[in-house]
């Protein structure tokens, strides 16, 4: 189960794969209500990590497009 600190270490692709695994586990008939809640929360944390990573890349692209120079956006 991915924790917030673990999610931050994942690439976007790895995080999306982990979300897919959470979805498959949630679709299982053998999952308890408590486990369902935990899987859902972990999936949401992973999606937040993905969204934050994508936003960061988008800001870098916008910065490059504005002035044509390559700089890290922080």
CB pairs under 8 A, 24+ apart, for 35-39?
38/1, 39/1
Could you tell me what percent of the chain has a pLDDT over 70? 78
Range of the domain at 47: 12-20+33-67
Q: Is residue 42 part of a domain?
A: yes
Q: How many Å apart are CA 60 and CA 74, to the nearest integer?
A: 9
Evaluate if residue 66 carries a pLDDT over 90.
Answer: no
Please give the structure tokens belonging to residue 50: 């993905």
Residue 63's pLDDT band, with cuts at 50, 70 and 90, is confident
Q: Is residue 60 part of a domain?
A: yes
User: What average pLDDT does range 15-22 have in this prediction?
Assistant: 96
pLDDT at 1: 47
Evaluate if residue 6 carries a pLDDT over 70.
Answer: no
Q: Is residue 7 part of a domain?
A: no
The domain total for the chain is 1
User: What average pLDDT does range 28-48 have in this prediction?
Assistant: 95
pLDDT at 39: 97
């Amino acid at each position: 189960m991915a924790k917030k600190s673990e999610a931050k270490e994942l690439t976007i692709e790895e995080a999306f794969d982990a979300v897919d695994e959470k979805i498959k586990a949630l679709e299982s008939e053998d999952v308890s209500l408590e486990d369902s809640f935990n899987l859902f929360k972990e999936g949401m944390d992973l999606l937040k990590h993905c969204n934050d990573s994508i936003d960061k890349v988008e800001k870098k692209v916008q910065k490059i497009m504005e002035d044509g120079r390559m700089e890290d956006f922080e």
